């Protein structure tokens, strides 16, 4: 078992404790993303179908109160889809800051160790700088992936909002045609 975890130990040793925090944030981002995928795939689609069926079953589609009710129902469904977006955005914004924190603390460690030895070894300083920039790289990589996911989720939500409004309007229009025929 220790042989399997050895690369992780070396990575944490190289990047410091901040790298562990970045890994935890990345895990939270991945978990929220996976949860949204499952929600979209299994829960939201059923709820959307139930909402369209409930709207179609109504007799009144044209009055002010009916249109208001349709808007409330639609906004509620979209709000449930949009619920974790603020947390995702917060975690994405946190990643570069954590990377910067890791770099600053790593550089302080490098300068502190150079001051202790009183020897300006260029090799030791270069190695320390390389280790100090590892958290920045990790933070930026996680932030980019999280930003791509968040942007895609926002796009899906906007498209779903439009489709839901279109389906509800189409159901009302079909009902009007049936009542006039």
Which of these ranges, 15-24, 138-147, 168-177, has the smallest mean pLDDT?
A: 168-177
Assess contact for 134 and 102: CB atoms under 8 A: yes
Q: Tell if the pTM clears 0.75, that is, is over it.
A: yes
Would you mind telling me the total number of residues written for the chain in this entry? Answer: 181
Give CA separation, 18 vs 24, 88, 135, 178, in Å.
10, 19, 7, 64
Q: Is the pLDDT of residue 116 over 80?
A: no
Phi, psi of 123 (to 5 degrees): -65, -45
Measured in Å, how far apart are the chain's first and last C-alpha atoms?
74
Assess contact for 179 and 60: CB atoms under 8 A: no
Dist. CA 8–CA 115, nearest whole Å: 29
| Model pLDDT for residues 19-33, shown as the tens digit of each residue | 889 999 999 999 999
Assess contact for 112 and 128: CB atoms under 8 A: no
Assess contact for 79 and 47: CB atoms under 8 A: no
Q: What average pLDDT does the structure give for the chain?
A: 86
More confident residue, 34 or 173: 34
Assess contact for 25 and 142: CB atoms under 8 A: yes
Assess contact for 12 and 19: CB atoms under 8 A: yes
Mean pLDDT within 66-91: 93
Q: Is the pLDDT of residue 16 over 90?
A: no
Q: What's the pLDDT at 120? A: 60
More confident residue, 167 or 121: 167
């Amino acid at each position: 078992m220790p042989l399997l975890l050895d690369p992780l130990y070396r990575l944490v040793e190289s990047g410091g404790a901040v790298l562990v925090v970045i890994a935890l944030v990345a895990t939270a981002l991945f978990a929220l993303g996976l949860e949204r995928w499952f929600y979209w795939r299994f829960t939201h689609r059923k709820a959307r179908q139930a909402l369209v069926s409930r709207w179609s079953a109504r007799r009144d589609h044209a009055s002010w109160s009916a249109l208001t009710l349709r808007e409330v129902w639609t906004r509620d469904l979209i709000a449930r889809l949009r619920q974790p977006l603020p947390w995702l955005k917060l975690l994405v914004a946190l990643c570069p800051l954590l990377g910067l924190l890791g770099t600053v603390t790593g550089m302080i460690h490098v300068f502190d160790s150079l001051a202790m030895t009183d020897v300006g070894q260029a090799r030791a300083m270069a190695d320390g700088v390389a280790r100090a920039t590892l958290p920045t790289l990790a933070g930026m990589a996680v932030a980019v992936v999280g930003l791509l996911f968040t942007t895609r989720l926002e796009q899906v939500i906007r498209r779903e909002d439009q489709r839901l409004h279109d389906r509800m309007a189409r159901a009302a229009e079909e009902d009007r045609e049936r009542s006039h025929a």
